[in-house]
Amino acid sequence: MKLNKKLLVATAVSAMMMVACSEDSKSSTEPENETPSSEVQDPTSSAEPGSATGSSGSAPATSSNSTGTSSESSLISSSSVANTDPPVMGCSEIMYNAPDGSALEWVEIYIAGGKDMDNMQNFLLHLSGAIDYTFPAEPLKKGEYIVVANDLAKFKETYPDFKGRLFGPWDDAANMKLPNEGDVVNVKIDGEGDVSCAFGNEPPWPSLADGKGRTLVYKGGNAAQPLSWGASKKNLGNPGVGGDEWLDGSKIRINEVMPNATGKNAWIELYNAGDADADITGWKLKVKRRNQELNITSGVVPAKGFLVLDAVENFDEELVVSNQGGEFYLYGPGEGEESSIWLPAYEGPSGLVDLKDGSTAQGPLASATPGAANAALKIGSVYINEIYYHPGSNANDIPFEFMEIVNSTDKDVSLYSSATNLSKGWKVEGINLEFASSAVIKAGALMLLIPETLDPADMLNLGLTEWGPNVVRSAYSIPASVDIVTYKGKLSNRSETIAVKEPFAKEDTKDGVQYFYIWHDATLYSDAWAGLVDADGAGFSLQRVDKTTMGYEAKAWKAAAPTIGKI
């Protein structure tokens, strides 16, 4: 049966007074191609960005299949955006976590394709997500890079030669700093044609942009992915210019790590994406959690090949890898020459897996493969079943986003770790959901996740004076056996990382408490996945078809009419 707005209103009207409205669902995308002659990077392409996007010379090591094997992209290229089409926004540079705790933070945006804006307010140009800002009634032309800052006086003091247009401060006076741990800034126009600009301080984000004076510079590709960003070559960045240079990462990457907790010495595997053998003698490996920096005593990584470093034999002191997870950084001799990996809590191996679109995914591995390309990512007991990320606009479409997770085991799973030294709920990264202490997902059961609130305009359009699990359960005949839980965030209409994480351990740090998680499932869905574009506003959802590994690949999903609350 096709589900629709009318069913929601008709069912809810029997329980409450109605008033009527329109949904402004969150939408975010990376900048698309402008015209055939434009230099705007196509986010759906797996090709490496070139010097037109600000490269300092060589392509990023992880923007193509880094194991050297051929792969067919699962993304489709967007058609060129003509000068008469609606504007498509881009985000080109971000200053977060400025050095010495400075209040200096800003975001640089531009029109990546389409027509100029005669009046930014006519296009409802605004920022949302980590910060909120509504642009004034002024024009914006392609080729102009504008900056939005939180502290205008500090910005002008830091960049006395800045000649561009500066906007700010941000609308929310109580939230005047970007989160140091990372978030997303959405650049939105009319709820469509926008970009989701991610930033973060965990691997593989460049560490030089995390409190060390460099900005994040957009390199090209999917702006929701860390590998689409690099640390600025220039200290404190270069606001209002565009086409900035970034520091090259290393062609040597951390590919797989085995913890000590298996009863044997730990080891770490490196991969060389370059065309020449690389002598890494003297390179440094930093174990952030232990605040330990080790020197590599010897080793050569063959071109397009692997090298396994023994925890005892290849370092000046023993490499200790905790099964509770943590961050690892490999530093070469050049500035910005680093590779990094974040390990989840897991007693087995963790590492990177190359995806068919040319990007990578990281997490626990199904098996150890030292000296060879990595196995599939290991999936846990709770997986992502359905994602309805861009509600359709037709009357027969479900007018709100939702997600579903499923317990694949034959036992109930508590979604709260109640150990006295932990007491922390599981979380679903990407939608700002942390489960309460009473949350349980029953054996073999599905759990429906819906937004905690709808915008007032959405409520009016749906004819609702109330919103919540009871309204949705009644309107869509959701069985009583299906628990409904609300989340505070919003799904991106373009591309976003969603992950189901179980807290495993915690540690007190100078910045507060840090939690370490077991990863059960994750995806970085995209509105440009070949064969799945009907999930992008055409009334279809993404539905899981492959549950043998994490859901990063397009082949793990199908696009079909939503089956809300049903497996």
Tokens of 204: 């593989």
Q: Which residue has the higher pLDDT, 222 or 427?
A: 427
Q: Which residue has the higher pLDDT, 73 or 332?
A: 332
Q: Which residue has the higher pLDDT, 449 or 72?
A: 449
pLDDT attached to residue 67 = 43
**Range with lowest mean pLDDT among 94-98, 177-181, 472-476:** 177-181
Q: Which residue has the higher pLDDT, 36 or 385?
A: 385
Q: Which of 294, 289, 254 is nearest to 271 (CA)?
A: 254
% helix / strand / coil in the chain, to the nearest 5?
A: 10, 35, 55
Q: Read off the amino acid at residue 61.
A: A
- C-alpha atoms less than 13 angstroms from C-alpha of 237 in its C-beta half-sphere: 35
Q: Which residue has the higher pLDDT, 46 or 313?
A: 313
> Could you give the maximum distance between any two Cα atoms of the chain, in Å?
74
What pLDDT digit, counting tens, does each position of 190-218 carry?
755 578 889 999 999 999 999 999 999 99
pLDDT reading at 428 higher than 50: yes
The mean pLDDT value for 75-96 works out to 80
Q: How far apart, in whole angstroms, are the C-alpha atoms of residue 427 and residue 379?
A: 16
pLDDT attached to residue 459 = 82
pLDDT reading at 274 higher than 90: yes
Q: Read off the amino acid at residue 341.
A: I
pLDDT attached to residue 173 = 67
Cα-flanking dihedrals φ and ψ of residue 92, to 5°? -115, -20
Contact partners, residue 375, CB within 8 Å, separation at least 6? 353, 365, 366, 367, 368, 369
Contact partners, residue 284, CB within 8 Å, separation at least 6? 293, 294, 295, 296, 330, 331
pLDDT reading at 81 higher than 90: no
pLDDT attached to residue 75 = 60
pLDDT attached to residue 467 = 94
pLDDT reading at 342 higher than 90: yes
- pLDDT band of residue 375 (cuts 50, 70, 90) is confident
What pLDDT digit, counting tens, does each position of 497-519 carry?
899 999 999 988 776 788 999 99
pLDDT attached to residue 83 = 85
- Mean pLDDT for the chain overall: 84
What pLDDT digit, counting tens, does each position of 395-423 carry?
788 989 999 999 999 999 999 998 878 99
Q: Which of 25, 24, 22 is nearest to 461 (CA)?
A: 22
What's the Cα-to-Cα distance from 132 to each of 173, 188, 343, 466, 539, rounded to whole Å?
Answer: 10, 11, 32, 26, 29
Tokens of 95: 């200053």
Percentage with pLDDT > 90 across the chain: 63
What pLDDT digit, counting tens, does each position of 121-155 carry?
999 999 988 889 999 999 999 999 999 999 999 99
The mean pLDDT value for 236-248 works out to 94
DSSP code per residue over 10-53: HHHHTTS------------------STT-----TT--SPP-GGG
> What is the set of domains in the chain, with CATH numbers?
5-21+380-560 (no CATH), 51-231 (no CATH), 252-364 (2.60.40)
Q: Give the global pTM.
A: 0.82
